[in-house]
Amino acid sequence: MQTKYWHVDKVVDSLATYPQIEEAADFLRQDEVVAFPTETVYGLGGNALSNEAATKIFAAKGRPADNPLIVHIASKQQVADVAINISKTAEQLMEAFWPGPLTVILEKQPNRLSEVVTAGLETVAVRMPDHPVALAVIEKAGLPIAAPSANRSGKPSPTSAKHVQDDLDGIIAGIIDGGETGIGVESTVVDCTGDIPIILRPGGITKEEIEAVVGEAAIDAALKDAKQQPKSPGMKYKHYAPEAPVYLLEGSREWIQSHVSEQRQQGKKVGVLTTEENLSFYDADVILPCGSRQDLRTVAHSLYDVLRAFNETDVDIIYSETFPAAGVGLAIMNRLEKAAAHRWLYEK
């Protein structure tokens, strides 16, 4: 398959009448699969009402079929097209954070969405992205669009069109290049089908921000215990991993460096994922900074780009610093734990 490539400047007025948007939307109406930018990561979009389109998404990603997809919409009014029994909590969260990096789990509209999209569940994950290109193409298509991250399953999520090309060129129908994404980690997923909202996946909206709107919010037990089965789209399987094995090192810089030196003495090429503050401290084969510890949102923004950048090197092992698991740090550590397959080393 030849992948069509469109460049769209997200600051252009009247995006809905932009020829590239119109052509991409037409592809979606024909049940083809198109990658597009959101404020979090690039999404791999297809008609959420079509089994054919949804099957193409799973095939392109190599994604297990029991892993549901998030449905993207362009207006709050579209929620009623895909969901029923919308709780007051869900309405409050949508009002506070839409458009934005928040996905809500709701009861699905019967006999409406593709069973492939919802993986046969009675619920649907819905979000309204905060990106003009994403909103324009969804609106122009006139459909709810199912869209996981636009990468091969298991690899770091894409934050640029080049990342999508690296993984999916020749596999999908089209890629809309709208520049780099902003937040860099996926949306926060919140189950709003019960009395208390439950955070199934941490992301761009923090637990503290959610509780400021609706009061108490719980965190899914699977986020704290690797043996528990996650309920959220995109959280069930190994994810976000570069080619070399990643280890999370909880300890001082000096202790981390001792591990780096030990591995190098054994003939291994070692990469270190660090921050701007510690960049000059380490002596390793490849040292990549991932934002600043003074602003963890910069770490979230750069995380996937840095994980992918290690694939352009010949390192045998990657040692990563860790971050406080609070605020957006919860999302960062969640993604790093998945990338590392829960491999930790602790300073004694």
User: Helices marked H in the chain — which ranges?
Assistant: 19-29, 51-61, 79-82, 88-97, 115-118, 132-141, 161-168, 207-214, 253-265, 296-309, 328-339
How many angstroms separate the CA atoms of 243 and 219, rounded?
30
Q: Is 89 annotated as a binding residue?
A: no
Tokens of 240: 């976000």
291-304 burial, b if ≥16 CB within 10 A, otherwise e?
bebeebbbbbbbbb
Q: 187 among the known binding-site residues?
A: yes
With a CB cutoff of 8 Å and minimum separation 6, the contacts of 105 are 123, 124, 125, 126, 189, 190, 191, 192, 193, 200, 232
The answer to whether the annotation marks 151 as part of a ligand binding site is: no
User: 201: annotated binding-site residue?
Assistant: yes
Tell me whether residue 50 is annotated as binding: no
Asked if residue 72 belongs to a known ligand binding site, the reply is yes
**What is the phi-psi region of residue 261: left when phi exceeds 0, alpha when psi lies from -120 to 50, beta otherwise?**
alpha
Residue reference for tokens 């979000």: 127
- Residue 119 CA to residue 342 CA, distance in Å, equals 26
Using DSSP's 3-state secondary structure scheme, residue 136 falls into helix
Say if residue 63 carries a ligand binding annotation.
yes
297 is in an annotated binding site: no
Q: Is 3 annotated as a binding residue?
A: no
In the chain, helix, strand, coil percent, each to 5? 35, 20, 45
Radius of gyration of the CA atoms of the chain, in A: 20
122 closest CA partner among 191, 181, 53 = 191
Q: Is 17 annotated as a binding residue?
A: no
Residues 6+ apart with CB under 8 A from 307: 156, 240, 241, 242, 246, 273, 339
**123 marked among binding-site residues:** yes
Question: Is 149 known as a binding-site position?
Answer: yes
Binding region for ATP: 63, 67, 123, 149, 157, 201, 240
Q: Which residues are annotated as a binding site for L-threonine?
A: 40, 72, 127, 147, 187
The annotation places the binding site at: 40, 63, 67, 72, 123, 127, 147, 149, 157, 187, 201, 240
